[in-house]
Amino acid sequence: MERTFLMIKPDGVQRGLIGEIVKRFELKGFQLHACKLVRVKKEQAEKHYEELKDKPFFGELVQFITAGPVFAMVWAGDEVVSLSRSMMGKTKVLESQPGTIRGDYALHTGTNIIHGSDSPASAEREIANFFAPDEIV
């Protein structure tokens, strides 16, 4: 079954959105295979966002994601990678539609509540960066 890595970013955790976000994916019908509240290490954050290392906002992004606890999750289900991305909404705040997580809760592109893998291959790489095999059911 397809899996994805979703992560509620420090702004989402701080605002008390864990329950609301988990509820949306549960009600959609996806299965939660792992979750934990963790503080991301700098090297781990750099690895997670390695494709963006040449972007001007990379330093800020790593700083932001390591600034407080995140809620890391593995979810499974048919087409979970693309369906969860549409439930999250677009990256840019002006493009994220009402009804999506970012559209409903995010006011700025840099603090956009949630991360989701952009392909099944990214998902497996990101899951391995956050979870040991025995932490996943």
Query: Which residues are at the interface with ligand ATP (CB under 6 A)?
Result: 52, 57, 61, 91, 109-110, 112, 115-116, 118
Residue 9 marked in a binding site: yes
Annotated catalytic, 33?
Answer: no
Residue 100 marked in a binding site: no
> What is the spatial distance between Cα 136 and Cα 132, in angstroms, rounded to a whole number?
7
User: Phi/psi at 84 (nearest 5 deg)?
Assistant: -70, -35
Q: Read off the amino acid at residue 59.
A: G
Write the DSSP string, 123-134.
HHHHHHHH--GG
> What is the spatial distance between Cα 37 and Cα 18, in angstroms, rounded to a whole number?
10
> Residue 21 or 137: which CB sits closer to ligand ATP?
21
Residue 36 marked in a binding site: no
Annotated binding site: 9, 57, 85, 91, 102, 112
Q: Which residues does the annotation mark as catalytic?
A: 115
Annotated binding site for ATP: 9, 57, 85, 91, 102, 112
Binding site for Mg ion (CB under 5 A): 118
